Amino acid sequence: MQTSTQNKTNLEVPKKFVYYFAAGEAEGNATMKNVLGGKGANLAEMTSIGLNVPPGFTISTDICAHFYAEGGKLPDWVKPSVLEALTKMEAKIGKKFGDVENPLLVSVRSGARASMPGMMDTILNLGLNDQTVEGLAKSSNNPRFAWDSYRRFIQMYSDVVLEMNSSLLEVTLEDLKAEKGVHNDTELTAEDLKSLVKKFKALVQQMTGKSFPNDPLEQLWGAVSAVFRSWNTPRAITYRELHDIPADWGTAVNVQSMVFGNLGEDSATGVAFTRNPSTGERKFYGEFLVNAQGEDVVAGIRTPQPISLLKEVMPQAYKELEDNYFKLENYFKDMQDIEFTIERNKLWMLQTRNGKRTAKAALQIACDMIDEKMITEEEAILRIDPASLDQLLHPTLDPQAQKTILAKGLPASPGGVCGQVVFTPEDAVELKEKGQKVILVRVETSPEDIAGMVAAQGILTSRGGMTSHAAVVARGMGKCCVAGCSEVEVNYTNETFKAKGYVIKKGDIITLDGSTGEIYLGEVKTIEPKLDGAFSRLMAIADRVRRLKVRANADTPTDAKTARDFGAEGIGLCRTEHMFFGEDRIDAVREMIIAETSNEREKALVKLLPMQREDFYQLFKIMDGFPVTIRLLDPPLHEFVPHSDSEIAELAKRINYDENRLKHKIHSLHEFNPMLGHRGCRLAITYPEIYQMQARAIAEAAAQFVKEGKKLVPEIMIPLVATAKELEILREQTVAVVEQVQKEQNVKYDYQVGTMIELPRAAVTAHEIARHADFFSFGTNDLTQTTLGLSRDDSSRFLGSYVSHGILPKDPFVSIDQIGVGTLVKTGVDLGRQAKGNLKIGVCGEHGGDPSSIQFFENVNLDYVSCSPYRVPIARLAAARSKLQRSH
Ligand code: PEP
Ligand code: MG
């Protein structure tokens, strides 16, 4: 019976929080991930669909919140339900927990809603003590196995539950091996292991001041608590932040009867993917180890064998495994990542989950599954995480480049990267902060290394397989990784590694090819990726599904070309100021800025006019009829002038200007709050000649383009408008210039004059502004800055802690603050369209390339999003998903 006692905190006690599963009976199912975590939900489901799953139960994620509410203590009211499930398990299996003759041993594992590989803790062989170990020795008829299980349990428990320094026990084990003159753990005898257990227990007593718990129930409560505690370890927190997993989800705890892959040569353990997680190829893919426990495979301590060999070693179990994977794929309609154990030739399924994969594999698998009629085209779109496409857009090594190969390991996660070698995650983080590129080299990685893995360009390990921690985590991050490179001899003490006679020191440059597993000396040239058939096919489906148009923010012909190649349907923002920094023109810009009369200003502008005209013409040409939105000058003028005395002196000489006068002029441009100062349309209200020159350059470029027989509707955009009157004045002046040019050139074409909505006042008076605008484009960068009163240049220093304190769900400059800034966007859209029903509205702030912001822009009926060229494919896919997931 489940208790419903009132808890001493305000959290409500759930009616049910322990879910039992055993052959033929499962209280949970795959849809209950929120309650049972991914692992627990799928264990229940596998049990229900008839696969062999060791019996057990899941303590729900709700209890994690209660655990923390009670100050990191398992509430007493949880225990009776756990004991009740344990009793059911005992009856099912015919073994008793703590029984000295034939003891039931359990594993205790974490399992959150979203999979967090290796981030949280696991304890195996729980239930062993000085008495039950003898029972296990007898019942398994294998004393060596029993003592080995016991010493493993003490090691794990001391590390995870007692939080002892795990290397102490590890060193004791190594010392014993040295004393016995053996290399492998497997060469230690039962007697050796027995003496090891004794030493371990003495160490525990010495380090913790308490004896190792002998009572299996005490062990169980300790382990369950430790798993809940592991939800909040620094590495789990880093992983959650990286993957946007909310802190309040919590983890579930799975307690399951142990099965053993280390009972001898007829036992094994392994992990496998139903398709290749790197390439997507439809082929069973995985690794196993004979006579081993699961942790040996995942931890990458022994190098495992490919799954294809299992067919030869244990044909019966392999056949069943293959049947299971077909069943699981068909049931979950997705590629599965499974863990299994074979105990004395009997196959047990320990876990299944949707497998993590590279973006390349995700696209291939989605396309194959459409062809296999397993999923629809729309489902395929929903399968691909738009942000993951980033991985495909990264460079690979140039096959033509000269290379000196150092070693070859496993191609764990694709991409070509180079950087300085570092051996510790701390060094990786430190150098990354200094703007350096680093390759993290480790014997193997563990979850503690996560921050270093994030900081590194790529990861190289000398041990571990394709499913080792390094490989799985790097793939999830889309980070290049070469794993299990045994030719590399790492020496942490000297911070060097040896390979092919070379000695590579910390700070030396190497290059990794994560697609072949090769490692090269020095820097190797990289090339841009070519996108394959699956990419184009899914993009075509996305384009068919989506409503939002996708444009790019592009200021140069190169950007514009990249944007077109990635499928942009126009330019949503050309920041003309970026064109002002060219070496051939910056001095003319400066002359324009320091001009004291309109006449002087116009003289400088005349120099700029032909250059701007050519800039715009090139963009029109590349965009070939797609819309091009050109924003007139926006930043404060002081951004264009030099500030040091020597630079000012040089400029004075170049433009033949009095140095002191120039200094004085430049200092007079100083503003205390330039972002709220004399910038945007305010510049044009005081110096109308600047926008007039730009409008003329656009109009003349368009005239030339149209005269060549091509179609174009240029869009001229006025930034930082706060009042309708500003736009009214500037529109009138712009229109006058364009009409004048059309008359001079005797050509007629349509054009539009619109504005950015990037100030709160503009958003809430959008109905007035709309009267003078042909289009709106939301500048959500400035709108975020001005709505939250957060400087876009300075706030990154503390925004991280705002997010980790849960004050803001995400950095609002990355993902739109929907209830704040978003409400202004929605208001602006509604008011704007009330005044002008057909008003075209887009967004060109950074949020235009962020998938969750795109969902918001879809929901409020924008016409287009505009983002940086490399994000265009991401935006196309995100737009399609947003349409499919639209809530109304
Ligand atoms: C914006 O403010 O969102 C915008 C696109 O303009 P900029 O980033 O150039 O200020
Ligand atoms: Mg802006």
Which element (helix H / strand E) includes 365?
A: helix 359-371
716 C-alpha to ligand 1 centroid (Å): 15
CATH 3.40.50.1820 corresponds to the domain 18-257:
no
Contacts 24+ apart (CB under 8 A), 592-597: 592/690, 593/637, 593/640, 593/641, 593/669, 594/641, 594/657, 594/662, 594/665, 594/666
Catalytic site residue from 480, 844, 847, 867: 844
How far, in Å, CA of 189 to CA of 450, rounded? 36
For 299, list phi and psi in degrees, rounded to 5.
-75, -10
Active-site residue flag, 469: yes
162 C-alpha to ligand 2 centroid (Å): 54
- The reported pLDDT for the residue numbered 2 is 36
Inform me whether the pLDDT recorded for 272 exceeds 90. yes
Per-residue pLDDT band at 527 (split at 50, 70, 90): confident
- C-alpha to C-alpha distances, 736 to 108, 705, 753, nearest whole angstrom: 76, 20, 12
How far, in Å, CA of 517 to CA of 790, rounded? 45
Q: Higher-confidence residue: 253 or 449? A: 253
- Which structure tokens are listed for 254? 């799975």
- C-alpha to C-alpha distances, 80 to 221, 582, 583, nearest whole angstrom: 12, 74, 77
Beta bridge partners of 549: 864
From 555, 571, 573, 633, mutation site for ligand 1 pocket: most ligand atoms within 8 A of C-beta: 573
438 C-alpha to ligand 2 centroid (Å): 34
Q: Residue 574: nearest ligand to its CA?
A: 1
Residue nearest to atom 8 of ligand 1 (CA): 781
DSSP three-state, residue 140:
helix
Inform me whether the pLDDT recorded for 266 exceeds 90. yes
- Nearest atom (ligand 1) to Cα of 573: 5
- C-alpha to C-alpha distances, 439 to 243, 432, 470, 494, 873, nearest whole angstrom: 22, 10, 13, 17, 28
How many of the other CB atoms lie within 10 Å of CB of 207?
14
778 C-alpha to ligand 1 centroid (Å): 9
Q: Which of 155-159, 179-183, 771-775 has the highest mean pLDDT?
A: 771-775
- The reported pLDDT for the residue numbered 821 is 98
From 639, 757, 758, 862, mutation site for ligand 1 pocket: most ligand atoms within 8 A of C-beta: 758
How far, in Å, CA of 54 to CA of 52, rounded? 7
Q: Residues 110-133, buried b or exposed e (16+ Cβ, 10 A)?
A: bbbbebbbbbbbbbbbbbbbeebb
Name every residue whose Cβ is closer than 8 Å to that of residue 284 and which is 6 or more positions away in sequence.
Answer: 272, 273, 274, 307, 308, 322, 325
Inform me whether the pLDDT recorded for 5 exceeds 50. no
How far, in Å, CA of 137 to CA of 789, rounded? 68
Name the residue among 352, 357, 625, 622 with its Cα closest to residue 477.
Answer: 357
Q: Residues 567-593, buried b or exposed e (16+ Cβ, 10 A)?
A: bbbbbbbbbbbebbeeeebeebbbbbb
Beta bridge partners of 270: 288, 340
Per-residue pLDDT band at 797 (split at 50, 70, 90): low
Q: Residue 793: nearest ligand to its CA?
A: 1
How far, in Å, CA of 729 to CA of 258, rounded? 78
Active-site residue flag, 64: no
Name the residue among 484, 467, 517, 479 with its Cα closest to residue 286.
Answer: 467
Query: What is the C-alpha R_g of the chain?
Result: 32
- Which structure tokens are listed for 354? 């949707």
- Section 638-643 average pLDDT: 87
CATH 3.50.30.10 corresponds to the domain 394-527:
yes
Contact 543, 579 (CB under 8 A): no
How far, in Å, CA of 194 to CA of 136, rounded? 13
Per-residue pLDDT band at 1 (split at 50, 70, 90): very low
Inform me whether the pLDDT recorded for 35 exceeds 70. yes
3-state helix, strand, coil in the chain (%, to 5): 50, 15, 35
Count of CA atoms in the C-beta half-sphere (13 A) of 26: 25
Contact 631, 672 (CB under 8 A): no
Asked whether the CA dihedral 315, 316, 321, 322 is positive or negative, the reply is positive
Residue holding tokens 């795959």? 30
Contact 485, 368 (CB under 8 A): no
Residue nearest to atom 3 of ligand 1 (CA): 779
User: What is 184-232 written as a DSSP string?
Assistant: SGGGS-HHHHHHHHHHHHHHHHHHHSSPPP--HHHHHHHHHHHHHHHTT
783 C-alpha to ligand 1 centroid (Å): 8
Inform me whether the pLDDT recorded for 610 exceeds 70. yes
- Section 388-392 average pLDDT: 80
Pocket of ligand 1 (CB under 6 A): 573, 575, 634, 758, 779-782, 844-845
791 C-alpha to ligand 1 centroid (Å): 13
Binding-site annotation: residue ranges for substrate? 575, 631, 758, 779-782
- Tell me the pairing of strands 25-26 and 18-22: antiparallel
CATH of domain 546-636+671-887: 3.20.20.60
Contact 349, 52 (CB under 8 A): yes
From 578, 639, 844, mutation site for ligand 1 pocket: most ligand atoms within 8 A of C-beta: 844
User: What is 612-635 written as a DSSP string?
Assistant: HHHHHHHHHHHHTTS-EEEEPP-S
- The reported pLDDT for the residue numbered 300 is 56
Q: Where are the domains of the chain?
A: 18-257, 268-354, 394-527, 546-636+671-887
Per-residue pLDDT band at 360 (split at 50, 70, 90): confident
Name every residue whose Cβ is closer than 8 Å to that of residue 875 and which is 6 or more positions away in sequence.
Answer: 386, 550, 848, 849, 854, 865, 867
- Which structure tokens are listed for 661? 């006068």
How many of the other CB atoms lie within 10 Å of CB of 20?
21
Rounded (10°) CA dihedral 624, 625, 631, 632: 90
Residue nearest to atom 1 of ligand 1 (CA): 779
Binding-site annotation: residue ranges? 575, 631, 758, 779-782
Q: Residue 781: nearest ligand to its CA?
A: 1
Inform me whether the pLDDT recorded for 598 exceeds 80. yes
Beta strand ranges found along 360-455 (DSSP E): 396-397, 405-408, 410-413, 416-422, 438-442
From 575, 577, 631, 720, mutation site for ligand 1 pocket: most ligand atoms within 8 A of C-beta: 575
Length of the chain: 888
Inform me whether the pLDDT recorded for 695 exceeds 70. yes
Instruction: Specify the DSSP class assigned to residue 774.
Output: S
- The reported pLDDT for the residue numbered 684 is 96
Q: H/E/C letters for each residue in 79-98?
A: HHHHHHHHHHHHHHHCCEEC
Q: Higher-confidence residue: 580 or 267? A: 267
Catalytic site residue from 469, 638, 772, 847: 469
- The CATH architecture one would assign to domain 268-354 is 2-Layer Sandwich (3.30)
Residue nearest to atom 10 of ligand 1 (CA): 782
Give per-residue pLDDT as tens, 852-864: 999 999 999 999 9
How far, in Å, CA of 75 to CA of 386, rounded? 41
- The reported pLDDT for the residue numbered 796 is 66
How far, in Å, CA of 779 to CA of 575, rounded? 12
Give per-residue pLDDT as tens, 165-178: 878 898 999 999 99
Q: Residue 792: nearest ligand to its CA?
A: 1
490 C-alpha to ligand 2 centroid (Å): 50
How far, in Å, CA of 687 to CA of 406, rounded? 61
How far, in Å, CA of 756 to CA of 779, rounded? 6
- Nearest atom (ligand 1) to Cα of 782: 2
H helix intervals, 749-850: 760-764, 766-770, 780-788, 796-804, 821-835
Average pLDDT, the chain: 91
- Which structure tokens are listed for 429? 């983080």
- Section 764-790 average pLDDT: 97
- C-alpha to C-alpha distances, 511 to 426, 496, 842, nearest whole angstrom: 20, 16, 41
How far, in Å, CA of 254 to CA of 514, rounded? 35
Inform me whether the pLDDT recorded for 304 exceeds 80. yes
DSSP three-state, residue 553:
strand
